[in-house]
A and B are shown apart, each in its own frame.
Chain A
Amino acid sequence: MKKQLRLGSGSGFWGDALDPAVELLEHGSLDYLSMDYLAELTMALLQRQRLKDPSLGYIPDLTTHMRELLPLARKSGTRIICNGGGANPRAGAEKVRDLARELGLKGMRIAVVEGDDMLPQLDALLQSGHDLTNIDTGEQDLAALRNRIVSANVYTDSSGIVSALEQGADVVIAGRVSDNALYVGPVMHEFGWTYSDADTDRIAAAITVGHVVECAAATTGGMSSRFAEMPSMGRVGFPIVEFEPDGSATITKLPGTGGRVDEFTVKEHLVYEIGDPSRYLMPDGVANFCKVKIDDQGNDRVRLTEMAGTGRPDLLKMVVGYEDGWIGEGMMFFPWPYALERAEKARQTLGERFERLGLKASAIQFDLVGVNMLHGPASPMPDYDPSEIGLRVAVHTESKAEAEKIRRACAQLWIMGPGGTSFGTPMKPRPVYGVWSTLIPRSYISQTTEILEA
């Protein structure tokens, strides 16, 4: 067994920078590089691409990223684990295998991990009478949305990744495994842990550490309240984890890179996007973030110890994406003097235009940009005449044609609006996807792993 495992975080979302991942492979002496590409909405977008063209549906950046990373990974002996397969891991893995052949990386083993896509089983699941209540809203009737559903994916655990690594995978291409499993998988594989009581706290430690690093730069100085103190963020280093078999870990980054790892960069991300911190629920287990001890050792090194938790849940989260109409949006800006008065007049005029155009909207929101767009009712109104103020309007409609009316009405304010009204480029309507999160028994899921050899 290795005395210490070195894992890097190579991507925090679809659209993240590639150069920090390249640096990690060149200088990080990593055993594993884990890359997260998926957010809640992403699966619906990718599934729609797949419906249009069955050879698509994986993250479009996957091949451009792997073209850079595969040769470096072979050289450094690092295994890459990602969920860039999105809604079509098989097609993504085949592309990566072809790419490895083209790059002359003979024998490279690309694993496909499947089993998270529940769309083929959805009708059976709906008919089974199983409780599919929306855990966010309490709504119950998922079947009523059936003809608008485009995706249904379960956040799966790391067993598919572990199986791929056992079969000697150099690269793992998964779909909607939990972001967290991209880190838990290699740790469980290397240290031979199982879902037994003896390993529960150690798995919880891997879950905790995975949470801390899975958004990449977010734990090395990105998104920080102390933004002004963070050096060279445009050249930020992504995090490295040194994981030990006893379930303790150190978070660090490459010397000479931008950003910082300290007590507060780690705390800031430990508390990010969680619910009850004593029960951070993941498919591999439940971590208790109220136990971990954070020790800042200086020089961009923070040690995490005393991590604990409980066993894995019987129910897994399934996210169903469905088409939910359109949003039309517009923004215009007004100059001093009387900027706020101009914005208020424009808001009245837009209301009148919506009426004249016969707009059918299910919801309309106005914001004053520079005043209350970000904090809403918590924002005080300015008690002076600001240099400039923006007016933003966003409208939810059933059809694209209705949403187009927002663009038209906003454009009409070019001349109907108050003097000085300024626009950028008018915004196109965008389709909306609703997200229905529910829980289904683990027994419905069977992950499969297959190796494609270059």
Chain B
Amino acid sequence: MTLLRDIAYVRSGDKGDVVSVGVIARHPKDYPALLRSLTATAVKDLFGSWITGDVEIYPMDNIDSVVVIMRGALGGGATRTLRLDQTGKAMGNGLLRLPVIAE
């Protein structure tokens, strides 16, 4: 099974209790697959209880990238969270576990 790991780069960080993830297609040809695979439902199902709010998906056609906004995803925000990864730096890589959805 092909995973997002195999077609994308990623970088993530925080704003309050929001984790913001940028997912970048390594090749323009894979951008449509990125859009198909990164749905709000898939992201919420993946992280389960770690996301208490909504997930929003923002395509960036100009750079073959997708911004994923996960609300209520940092256990109360960087300054209060009980997690070791206080700013969600590692959570973006978690998204790369999602399977690539075929056309």
Contacts and interface: CB of A to CB of B under 8 A. Distances in A.
B58 A278 contact: yes
B75 interface: yes
Contacts of B89: 223
Contact of A269 (B11, B16, B50, B75): B11
Contacts of B65: 267, 270-271
Q: Is the interface of B mostly helix, strand, loop or mixed?
A: mixed
B48 A293 contact: no
Contacts of B1: none
B97 A378 contact: yes
Interface residues of B, number: 43
Interface string B72-103: 00010111101111000111011001000000
Contact of A367 (B23, B77, B78, B84): B84
B49 A377 contact: yes
Given A271-B60, A377-B50, A392-B84, A435 B15 contact: no
A395 B75 CA distance: 12
B4 to A, nearest CB: 11
B71 to A, nearest CB: 8
A374 B78 contact: no
Interface stretch (A73-81, A110-118, A284-292): A284-292
A234 interface: no
Interface string B10-43: 1111111110101110000000000000000000
Interface in A361-408: 363-365, 367, 373-379, 392, 394-396
A223 B11 contact: yes
A137 interface: yes
Contact of B63 (A44, A267, A377): A267
Interface string A237-269: 000000000000000000000000000100111
Contacts of B67: 271, 274-277
Contacts of B84: 367, 373-374, 392, 394
Nearest to B16: A136
B63 A294 contact: yes
B62 A293 contact: yes
B45 to A, nearest CB: 9
A365 B83 CA distance: 8
Given A278-B58, A290-B62, A324 B80 contact: yes
A40 B60 contact: no
A396 B80 contact: yes
B3 interface: no
Interface residues of A, number: 52
Nearest to B74: A136
A434 B14 CA distance: 14
Interface in A407-447: 432-435, 437
Contacts of A40: 16, 78-79
A430 to B, nearest CB: 10
B24 A268 contact: yes
A41 interface: yes
A41 B91 contact: no
A272 interface: yes
Nearest to A325: B80
A268 B17 contact: no
B9 A226 contact: yes
A268 B60 contact: no
B55 interface: no
A376 B16 contact: no
B90 to A, nearest CB: 4
Contacts of B77: 136, 434-435
Nearest to B86: A41
Contacts of B10: 225
Given A327-B82, A374-B84, A275 B11 contact: no
Given A41-B79, A392-B84, 11 more contacts: A136-B16, A271-B22, A271-B63, A272-B22, A292-B62, A365-B75, A374-B84, A374-B93, A376-B94, A378-B50, A433-B79
30 contacts: A40-B78, A40-B79, A41-B79, A137-B17, A223-B89, A225-B11, A269-B11, A270-B22, A271-B22, A271-B63, A271-B67, A273-B15, A274-B20, A274-B67, A275-B69, A276-B56, A277-B67, A278-B58, A290-B62, A327-B82, A365-B83, A367-B84, A375-B47, A376-B83, A377-B47, A394-B84, A432-B79, A432-B80, A433-B79, A435-B79
Interface of B: 9-18, 20, 22-24, 46-50, 56, 58, 60-63, 65, 67, 69, 75, 77-80, 82-85, 89-91, 93-94, 97
- List of 9 A-B pairs having minimum Cβ-Cβ separation, nearest first: A271-B22, A136-B16, A377-B48, A225-B9, A273-B13, A394-B82, A365-B82, A374-B90, A375-B94
